[in-house]
Amino acid sequence: MTIKLLVATRNPGKVEEYRTLLADLPVEITWLEAEGITLDVEETGISFEDNALIKALTYARVSGLLTWADDSGLEVDALGGWPGIASARHAGPDATDAERTQILLRRLQGVPYERRTAVFRCVVALATPDGQTWTASGASSGVITESPQGEGGFGYDPVFYIPKYGRTYAQLDPAEKNDLSHRGRAARKAKILLERYLKSVGSGDQ
């Protein structure tokens, strides 16, 4: 039995990452655009987990589908953890990834390499239309570069440098990024929770 899984995002890059990560599960991946869902959920939580749950529960209720949502962000040590949960919103609703990244780089201007450390965090939330929820989290450490490097990925990927690999997220191929990224780590944990749910549905034991 295949179950339709709504990935609660308008970001096609995220959809493709999750399609790859969940390819071996009996789920049909769909997303907000494909379902014609225009509702924008206000992320009013005070943590990544809060916001992921708000999105998952709201879109599960609206769509009537099992829903996978995430909230993620960049915490820069030299900036006291900023932008954190405001990573996608600090420059306003219409700002581009490049504009948000340039604001970050301006705030770090003059900060030496050893103090440009940062952590990417992600929480994935799963929700059913009747309100059941599960969450999983992941993190990845790196350093913020002085200028964008690489053409891949999205968001802050071009300035998030992984010393072990000698490249930014945007310079990694998708498989490498999924292996070490905050989203990949959270997703692999969430995948285990999703598998358990699918088995319970298949056996009639919810």
> What is the Cα–Cα distance from 156 to 74, expressed in whole angstroms?
8
CA-to-CA separations, 189 to 22, 88, 134, 192, in angstroms, rounded:
11, 23, 11, 5
- Tell me the sheet residues that pair with 137: 123
Helix axes 12-21, 182-203, angle to 10 degrees: 60
Domain at 3-203, CATH from 3.20.20.70, 3.90.950.10, 3.30.420.40, 3.30.390.30: 3.90.950.10
Q: What's the one-letter identity of residue 154?
A: F
pLDDT given for residue 206 in this prediction: 47
Write down the catalytic residue from 40, 50, 70, 71. 71
pLDDT given for residue 174 in this prediction: 84
**Cβ neighbours of residue 31 closer than 8 Å, sequence gap 6 or more:** 6, 7, 8, 9, 10, 12, 15
pLDDT by position in tens, the chain (length 206): 789 999 999 988 889 889 988 999 999 999 999 999 999 999 899 999 999 999 999 999 999 999 999 999 999 999 999 999 999 889 988 899 999 999 999 999 999 999 999 999 999 999 999 999 999 999 999 999 999 999 988 899 999 999 999 999 999 998 888 889 999 999 999 999 999 999 998 755 54
User: In which residue are the tokens 């010393």 written?
Assistant: 163
**Catalytic residue at 71?**
yes
pTM of the model: 0.91
pLDDT given for residue 201 in this prediction: 87
